[in-house]
Amino acid sequence: MKFGGSVLDSSSKIKTLVNIVNSFKNLEGKDNEIVCVISAISGVTDKIIMLSELIIKGKRSAIKTFIDEMTRLHLDLINNAITDQKLQAEAKKVILDTMKEFQAILEGLVLISEITPRSLDHMLSFGERLAAPIVSYALRNNNLDSDFLTGKEIGIVTDSNFGEARPLMNTTKFRVNAKLIPLILEGKIPVITGYIAADQHGYITTLGRSGSDYTATIIASCINADEVYLWSDVDGLLTAEPLIVKDAQVLDEISYSEAAEMVLFGAKYIHPRALEPVMDSNIPLRLRNAFNLSHPGTTITQNLRISNNIIKSIIAIRNTALIDVSGGGMVGSPGTAANIFDTLAKNKVNIMMISQGPSESSISVVLRKDDLGKAITSLELKLLGKVIKHLNVLEDVSIVTVVGSGMRGIKGIAGRVFSSIAKEDVNVIMIVQGSSELNLAFIVRDDDCEKAVRSLYKEFNLGKTF
Ligand code: ASP
Ligand code: MG
């Protein structure tokens, strides 16, 4: 069970968490074994990142303000969530000792006003390292035996790609099993810091933002868990954005590959690689709302019941821009696409959508609006006037994606999609469908986005529960 920051940021929420663990432990008379993975308290990771920016500027005074605020935040949770005096005192000591270590590191970093990716990961690890002990003591406070451990201690080993580290799964599996299984057999509920691990040299790494999801699925696949719960404060994945479509429904079951298309942009953000470990070992992933237990949430699995719904969800991705790169010199000249993508990649521009027609005279790429400046400058400097003759830019466009594995091999879906939005007088600027036929994505003007989503919602009856 992974608990996100939004399930941790008040003592009453921590009590909710404890109740969930307690009730699942004895669910239906079974003695279930539970491993908890904990995020930082909501907002803490962002605050550490902000502090790192001040440290680079040499702002020493920011450290004390930060340490005071963090100490108060975590001690307050302990005061209200842990009633047993002895446990409360122990938990406070852990927090104060951790804070002392954190402060010493920050004071050192500000002296040289430099933060490397490695030292940033070390800083970020404190968010989770402060949260996990509180949860573990709160469980003990309710007579549940528990230990807390970091991702490093539990044996998650990654490459040294600080900030976006990837697990070395074979080593990790071996170490995690050796460490975790004995704890579970002793009847303990291990509480593990999400998001953080260590590389082969023992340096702390992080798995990328929202990495606790990933920690949970990595551990689940190592110990071959029966299921993974990601607890947060939303009911699950939706058929559309509730801001656009009022009666958007929670999907009760979807496949891993459908989920992979949705989790980045839907109501519930999940770490993009978190699906991999459970997908490989076929472990169901349950998205549940900790504050709405009567709602079954969304289950992500392989074995799908036959669904009548060809389309599962419609996703709108706002704040994107399109660059159309063209020039006669591109036709029949191998390496042009590679050149364009390489230039963008070197400047850290992520491409969201690509299309090229068979005439090869233009390539369109869609990217985040925030990256547009960087993208145009780098393409102009590197390629304009050579193979490329024009850069045509469209700001204020949206991607609309229609997701559903039911589209595969069914004729006429694209026809229905485009005639339904044509009836709304929406112009389609670019279209992409992967050959997996799992999704169909197209670009419209941002002003047209809501109209397009609503008309598709109606066309494919997504308002009905299924
Ligand atoms: N605390 C980390 C973040 O905010 C990891 C997580 O929440 O899963 O990104
Ligand atoms: Mg989070």
Token representation of residue 325: 């790169």
- Residues of the chain with pLDDT > 90: what percent? 75
Are residues 425 and 334 both part of a single domain?
Answer: yes
| pLDDT the model gives residue 308 | 63
pLDDT at 331: 84
User: How far, in Å, is the centroid of ligand 1 from the Cα of 271?
Assistant: 9
How long is the chain?
A: 466
Counting atoms of ligand 1 from 1, which one is nearest the CA of 42?
Answer: 4
CB-CB contact of 422 with 429 (8 Å): no
Q: How remote is the CA of residue 212 from the centroid of ligand 2, in Å?
A: 7
Give the per-residue pLDDT at 165: 97
165 lies in some domain = yes
Mean predicted confidence (pLDDT) in 161-187 = 97
Q: Which H helix or E strand runs over 423?
A: helix 413-423
Q: Identify whether residues 169 and 75 lie together within a single domain.
A: yes
Categorize the per-residue pLDDT at 26 as very low, low, confident or very high, splitting at 50, 70 and 90. Answer: confident
Q: Which of 183, 203, 230 is the last residue of a domain?
A: 230
Q: What is the pLDDT of residues 215-272, one digit of tens each?
A: 999 999 999 999 999 999 999 988 888 778 888 889 899 899 888 888 776 656 789 8
Q: Which range among 281-285, 411-415, 425-429 shows the weakest confidence by mean pLDDT?
A: 411-415
Q: Are 164 and 122 in contact (CB under 8 A)?
A: no
Task: Among 178, 204, 230, give the residue marking a domain's end.
Answer: 230
Alpha carbon of 40 to those of 7, 45, 128, 152, 349: distances in Å?
Answer: 10, 7, 4, 16, 28
CATH, residue 336: 3.30.2130.10
Atom of ligand 1 nearest to the CA of 208: 9
Q: Which residues pair with 149 in a beta bridge?
A: 192
Could you tell me if 45 and 175 lie in one domain? Answer: yes
pLDDT at 244: 84
Q: Angle at the Cα of 46 (from 368 to 117), degrees rounded to 5?
A: 80
In a shared domain, residues 63 and 170: yes
Whether 209 and 102 map to the same domain: the answer is yes
**Residues 27 and 175 placed together within one structural domain of the fold:** yes
Q: pLDDT confidence of 389, banded at 50, 70, 90? A: confident
In terms of domains, do 226 and 319 share one?
Answer: no
Where does 290-374 show beta strands of DSSP type E? 298-301, 313-326, 351-356, 362-368
Residue 267 lies in a domain: no
CB 195 less than 6 A from any atom of ligand 1: yes
The strand pairing partners of 321, in sequence order, are 367
Domain count, the chain: 2
With left for phi above 0 and alpha for psi between -120 and 50, is residue 335 left, alpha or beta? left
Q: Which two tokens stand for residue 8?
A: 């941790």
pLDDT of residue 99: 98
Q: Is residue 405 part of a domain?
A: yes
* CA distance to 156, 158, 172, 191, 204, per residue, from 200 (Å): 10, 7, 11, 23, 10
pLDDT at 59: 96
- What does DSSP say about strands 253-255 and 298-301: parallel, antiparallel, or unpaired? parallel
Give 321-348 pLDDT, tens digit per residue.
999 999 888 888 888 889 999 999 999 9
| Residue ending a domain, choose from 208, 230, 252 | 230
147 within a domain of the structure (yes/no): yes
Classify residue 365: in a domain, yes or no.
yes
**226 and 320 together in one domain:** no
**Does residue 378 have a pLDDT over 80?**
yes
Give the residue-averaged pLDDT of 72-81.
96
The pLDDT of residue 32 is above 90: yes
pLDDT (average), residues 54-74: 97
Q: What is the pTM of this model?
A: 0.87
One domain for residues 209 and 320 = no
221 and 321 belong to one structural domain: no
Q: What is the pLDDT of residue 18?
A: 97
Number of other residues whose CB lies within 10 A of the CB of residue 303: 8
Residue 223 forms part of a structural domain: yes
Give the DSSP letter of residue 150: -
Please give the distance, rounded to the nearest whole angstrom, from the Cα atom of residue 39 to the centre of ligand 2: 6
Distance in Å, CA 355 to ligand 2 centroid: 33
Question: Which atom of ligand 1 is the closest one to the Cα of 210?
Answer: 8
Residue nearest to atom 5 of ligand 1 (CA): 210
Half-sphere exposure of 244 (CA within 13 A, CB side): 27
Query: Which residue, among 238, 246, 235, has the nearest Cα to 454 in the 3D structure?
Result: 246
The Cα 229–Cα 4 span in angstroms is 11
Q: In angstroms, how far is the first alpha carbon of the chain from the final one? A: 26
Residue 466 in this model has a pLDDT that exceeds 60: no
- Evaluate whether residue 354 is within a structural domain: yes
For the record, the structure tokens of 57 come out as: 């500027």
Does residue 423 fall inside a structural domain?
yes
Among 185, 175, 265, smallest CA distance to 222 is for 175
What does residue 396 show for φ and ψ, rounded to 5 degrees? 55, 50
Same domain, 18 and 144: yes
* Ligand 2 center from residue 363 Cα (angstroms): 36
Atom number, ligand 1, closest to the C-alpha of residue 127: 1
- Closest residue (by CA) to atom 8 of ligand 1? 210
Give yes or no for residue 190 CB within 6 A of ligand 1.
no
> Quick check: CB of 211 below 6 Å from ligand 1?
yes
**Average pLDDT value over all residues in the chain:** 92
**Domain interval for residue 413:** 313-459
How far is the C-alpha of 146 from the C-alpha of 25, rounded, in Å?
Answer: 13
- Round to whole Å and give the CA distance between 166 and 145: 31
Both 92 and 205 in one domain: the answer is yes
